[in-house]
Amino acid sequence: MLVIVAPGQGAQSPGFLRPWLEDPTFASRFDWLSTVAGIDLAHYGTEADAETIRDTRIAQPLLVATGLVAALELFPHPADAFSRIGAVAGHSVGELAAAAGARVITAEQAMVLVRERGNAMAAAAAATPTGMTAVLGGDRDEVLAKIAAHGLTPANDNGPGQVVAAGTLAQLEAFAADGPAKARLMPLSVAGAFHTEHMAPAVGHLQKLARSVSVHDPRTRLISNKDGQVIHDGQEVLRRLVGQIANPVRWDLCLETMADLGVTGILEMPPAGTLTGIAKRALKGVETFALKTPDQLEDARAFCDKHGEASHFGASPTWRMVVSPAKGTFHVATEARDLGALHAGATIGDVASLRDRIQVTAAHGGQVVEWLVEDGDPVAPGQPLLRLHPEGAN
């Protein structure tokens, strides 16, 4: 199984776009997305220095635009991608690129949202002096306990041996003087405490904008930063994209879901390297491909052919599927078992895992066409559970 991932803020480096913009088609598409965002992204990706592109208002649109246009270079016929991609995920702002790649939102919608996201997060960061510090190594329980003891938030949990603490600069200074044993602390060059309560004002702004955004259900499995669940409801994806601004990124749980899916290959979109590096440590035996420059495209396509498998979501279905959000055991809700039709939001059951029980609902409602699992069946993330004929459809 092939998973495509998109990196988050911090992956950018000065001049990383230069080789990509030598291709006239890439340059033209990139110019279009730059126009939508209202930012000269080509300049920032080729001429600007590290400090300039660290600015949240620039870095976030730059990363999303690069991922989206590079995806068209990798899959010149976008429909072909879904015959290979088993799942998509994005780290932090990369989740916007993943959502657009899965066809939940359009590229243009993604660029407007990321522009406003970057501006709102920069404004929130300016209100209070905050920052982030990576904690490398150490005992996980002790690391999390020390973070909590200093009033900090584990804003990024990236897997074994890598947690990012975030909060005020005063809290981070105290943490540096009293950190967890056997751990190395590395202050990050970021503008503020992203994915914490300090970003709450940005959430409010994006929520207002999101009310006017039309969405579609993902064309492939989309693994959510919030909890590693597979989300197959477009509106829920949008809600999570907005709420994630002020909530921790649980990349460790995304990696667990990839393992549950049986991933064999992970390809990271440019500017690549960060997420494949994490995957190499966390998912032993899984092949990775960091797409950094356009001269790698042929090898990247071969990698996709090697690991790819068709998505089980049809291109233009006359029905909707309800899928499992996680690995576990499915239990059918008594009230849903014998119904011929379900209203939107009806509970169809839950998935019980070693960690928790996750309620599963029929987001759109409709006539029950077919139950695809039985009570007590083991299920995988994104596995179809129920097929519905939409209400009002012919």
What number of residues does the chain have? 394
312 catalytic? Reply is: no
Phi, psi for residue 390 in degrees, rounded to 5: -60, 145
| Inter-residue contact 86 to 309 (CB < 8 Å) | yes
Q: Which residues does 313 contact at the CB level (< 8 Å), separation at least 6?
A: 82, 217, 218, 219, 220, 232, 321
Two tokens, residue 168: 């005020």
Which of the residues 34, 91, 92, 232 is marked catalytic? Answer: 92
205 catalytic? Reply is: no
Q: Measure the CA dihedral 255/257/263/267, to 10°.
A: -50
Rounded CA Rg of the chain: 21
| Inter-residue contact 12 to 6 (CB < 8 Å) | no
Which of the residues 91, 195, 205, 307 is marked catalytic? Answer: 195
Which residues, in sequence order, are bridge partners of residue 139? none
CA distance 309 to 84: 4
Two tokens, residue 258: 């990839």
Which residues are the active-site residues?
Answer: 92, 195
